Structure 1
Amino acid sequence: MAKIIDDETMENVCILAKLSLSGQEREKAKADMQKMLDYVEKLDELDTSGVVPLSHIFGNANVFREDVVTNGDESVAMLKNAPKAKDGQYQVPKTIG
């Protein structure tokens, strides 16, 4: 039998979720949570011994491509656009005293 959602459990949920519920809202939430627990209990009755576990429903294998560099190192060309460069880096005015 599924655990019964009591007032103490509901209070703990409200504290953890930082919810401020009125009495009517609390009773509605308690009933909804109880329905969820009852449904999970019903699912536990199913015989899944012959079912293969899976991580997702799609049969795709790894569809990622290999990482291949196509543009190379363009740092020298980029530094030609800099107003000032020093030691292979952009040189900018000092901003911190």
Structure 2
Amino acid sequence: MAFRRQHNAIGGLVAGYRLVHEVTPRDVGRRVMVRYRLVSGQMTDVVGVLIAWEGEEISVQRRDGQVTQVIASTVIASKVIPPAPSRSSNRR
């Protein structure tokens, strides 16, 4: 996920992680993970290709083709991730 370990000045690990929001409009066309807050206050993730970033609206197309639209101000963490592995038809 989009977490970074925090280190203190001596190089030791600080308990916990820091959420990082790294995706920008320049990442349109790339595969991303976006964690955002729902109206209920719960958090959820969407993984897919960033297909649009228009103003405050981010659109991510999931592997199944469904498009999830996220309001940018609700994003808690995000990052660009590697392309999905190709599926082999020769599975045993």
Q: Which has the larger radius of gyration?
A: 1
- Bigger relative CO (Cα 8 Å, ≥ 6 apart): 2
Same topology, TM > 0.5: no
Structure ranking higher in strand proportion: 2
TM-score, scaled relative to structure 2:
0.20
